[in-house]
Each structure stands twice: as structure tokens, then as C-alpha cells.
Amino acid sequence: MPETIKELIELLNVFAMLSLMAVGGGTAVIPQMEHETVAVHHWVTSTQFASIYSLGQLAPGPNMSMVGIIGYHAAGAAGFFLVLFAFYFPACMLTYVVSHIWDSYRDNPWRDAVQRGLAPITIGLMLAGVYAVGKTASFNPDRPLWFNGVTLGFGLAIVLLLFWKRINPAILILACGAIGWYVLR
């Protein structure tokens, strides 16, 4: 089916590009990923993106493997595997090749310049990621005020709890899911 092939190529384009733009870690591409998958390509809704992102926090291993679910939404099983391949393979290949060359440049002063220069940009991107997911998951104008109070409260409580004590975040997320099931119906 040519329509499916077209969708798969779009998925490949978007996620391979995101793979190579993930400066300082996977979370840096969340804002761009949300924009591309929701507003540009309509593969998922904003609320679905937030849910899928949070499911990624519940699985073991790299927490960005949830991109596969977006691919599944867009193009079924083929989309699942294609998106995971597109998201992991380019960056992994780049690291393989560059780390090969890098050994001889280990003490090159520019490495430090790149790392320190990109650090604040990564932080800006992570903040944009909080905004991209939070604008539907924490404060959603389509929901009643009490509902937004609860979701904002969950987020703030987690920030405070994690600064206070080292708790496994997966447990906190499950707890909020359980409380949400009671309170947010």
C-alpha cells in the first residue's frame, strides 16, 4: 500500500533526524518530537504523546524506546520497529565511528569546549521538553480546574520528593497512576 510506505518514510525521516540532534541525551529532542508527531504529522494527539512518553518511564532500559509506540500508532507493527531503528541506529553508528577517531583526540581542548558549550543548550531543550509534555499532562485548559490542580500537584510533589530523597522514579509514577485512577475519573 503506497500510503503506508509514504507514512513509513516520513517516520524514518523524522526519527533519524531526531536521533542525530539529541545533544546531551534523549530528553533534548522531546520538544521537537512532540511538535513533529502531534502538530506536523498528526500521528498522535498531544495527550497521547504525554501518555506514551510516561509509559517509557515505566519500562526498563533507555527511557526513549517509547518512540516505538508512536510508530505503532502511525503505521502498525512495521512503524514500531522502523521508528526504533531510525531513532537508535544513526546516533549509534556516529558514536561508533567517532569514538574510533576520538581516542587519538582524548585530550583535545575542543572536546571540553563542545561539552561546556552545549550544556546550557541541553538544559534549555529539557525545559522545552517539560513545557511540551506539561502543557497537556499538567495543565490542560480543556480540563476542569480541580483536575489541573491534581495533575500540577502530582508534578510538584514528585519534584520535592526526589530532591528530598532518592526514590526509584518508576515507583512514584506507578503511585501517581494508582491515585489518578481513584481521583481523576
Partner 1 sequence: MPQPIANEPNVAASPPSVGKIFTAFALIGISSFGGGLVAYLRDVVVDREHWLTGEEFLGALEIGQTLPGLNSTNVAIIVGRKLRGPRGAAAAALGLILPGMAVLIVLGLLYVRFHTNPDVAAALAGVAAAAVGLLLQVTLKIGGRSFLRPKDLMFIIPTFLMVGVFHVSLAATLFLLAPIAIWLNRPESLKKKAPAHASDPER
Chain residues 103-162 in contact with partner 1, contact rule CB under 8 A: 106, 109-134, 136-138, 147, 150-152, 154-159, 162
Distance CA(140)–CA(150), nearest Å, equals 11
| Whether 46 contacts 38, CB under 8 Å | yes
Per CB under 8 A, the list member of 14, 16, 50, 75 interacting with partner 1 is 50
| Whether 11 contacts 76, CB under 8 Å | no
3-state helix, strand, coil in the chain (%, to 5): 80, 0, 20
Q: How far is the CB of 183 from partner 1 (least distance, A)?
A: 8
Per CB under 8 A, the list member of 14, 52, 75, 86 interacting with partner 1 is 52
Window 8 to 47, contacts with partner 1 (CB under 8 A): 17-27, 29-32, 35, 39, 47
* Residue 181 found at the interface with partner 1 (CB under 8 A): yes
* Residue 83 found at the interface with partner 1 (CB under 8 A): no
Q: Which residues have CB under 8 Å from 20's CB, separation 6+?
A: 90, 91, 94
Number of shown-chain residues binding partner 1 (CB under 8 A): 113
Window 54 to 73, contacts with partner 1 (CB under 8 A): 54-66, 68-69, 72-73
Q: How far is the CB of 49 from partner 1 (least distance, A)?
A: 9
Distance CA(22)–CA(98), nearest Å, equals 15
